[in-house]
Amino acid sequence: MKKICVTGAARGLGLALTKQMLERGYSVYAAGLGVDESDGIRQLEAVYAERLRVIDLDIADDLSVALFTETVKLDTDHLDMLINNAAILGSITDHIHGQMNIAEMAEVFNVNTLGSLRVTHALFPLLLQGQTKLIVDISSEAGSIEQCSRDGWFAYCMSKAALNMQARLIHNGLKQEGGQVMLVHPGWVQSYMRGELDASADLTPDESAQHIAALIDRHEQFKGEQPAYVDYRGEKLPW
């Protein structure tokens, strides 16, 4: 049975991805802040108790990642896939002509970029023992330097652009082992990233997760010299 870890699994897209992968027969390690108290996770546990392991994880904290990794290692000797989904938004109003909260930007980088690197690095030995050796980073079109038209969103855009570089660096090493990294823009998804549900967004978490899961099903088609950087429909994004 293939095994997968999903971060940020307590709600939103992470919860929906956890559900999609369980429905596809994976054994899932659902990780994140508040995941033990998630009503959505409890509902999944009622159906998939034998294939769902719920573990608290703060990807911004070294000790939390270390404890999480030891817990996973006690349970399995391999992982086939890692979905780095956990992320935060930060200010979208900071502007070069106005005030900037640099401290908050550092917090966003610590989660969106360094957080995924912490988890990937910690779980890398398990991934190398897996069959698929696949890392899926939930990035964003906001990380594309080539198509950037915003004049704000510094923390989010810059952290996702850095995540994209991280993915390429990891892919360069992982492809030699037969693995790959995929960067996926999930679309404009209804989420709580601004503190409350953004119901005006185009996609529900379930809709986006269905598309992403379908991309994962055909991940072999996206193997190459560099990580695939695509939107939820599989359309290539410019770097």
Structural domain of 26: 3-230
Positive or negative, the Cα torsion across 181, 21, 143, 219?
positive
For the ranges 45-54, 73-82, 156-165, 182-191, the lowest mean pLDDT is seen at: 182-191
- Tell whether 235 is covered by a domain: no
Query: What pLDDT digit, counting tens, does each position of 170-226 carry?
Result: 999 999 999 999 999 999 998 766 666 667 778 999 999 999 999 999 999 999 999
- Tell whether 236 is covered by a domain: no
Q: What pLDDT, on the 0 to 100 scale, is given for residue 190?
A: 85
User: CATH number for the domain including 127?
Assistant: 3.40.50.720
Q: In whole angstroms, what is the distance from residue 65 CA to residue 86 CA?
A: 13
- Tell whether 72 is covered by a domain: yes
- Tell whether 160 is covered by a domain: yes
Which amino acid makes up residue 80?
D
Query: What pLDDT digit, counting tens, does each position of 87-126 carry?
Result: 999 999 999 999 999 999 999 999 999 999 999 999 999 9
CA 219 → CA 4, 145, 173, 212, 238, distances in Å?
14, 24, 18, 10, 19
- Tell whether 189 is covered by a domain: yes
How many domains are contained in the chain?
1
Q: What pLDDT, on the 0 to 100 scale, is given for residue 238?
A: 97
Q: Residues 6 or more apart from 4 whose CB is under 8 A from it? A: 21, 26, 27, 28, 29, 79, 80, 81, 82, 83
- pTM for the full predicted model: 0.96
- Tell whether 238 is covered by a domain: no
pLDDT over 70 for what percent of the chain? Answer: 97
- Tell whether 207 is covered by a domain: yes
- Tell whether 210 is covered by a domain: yes
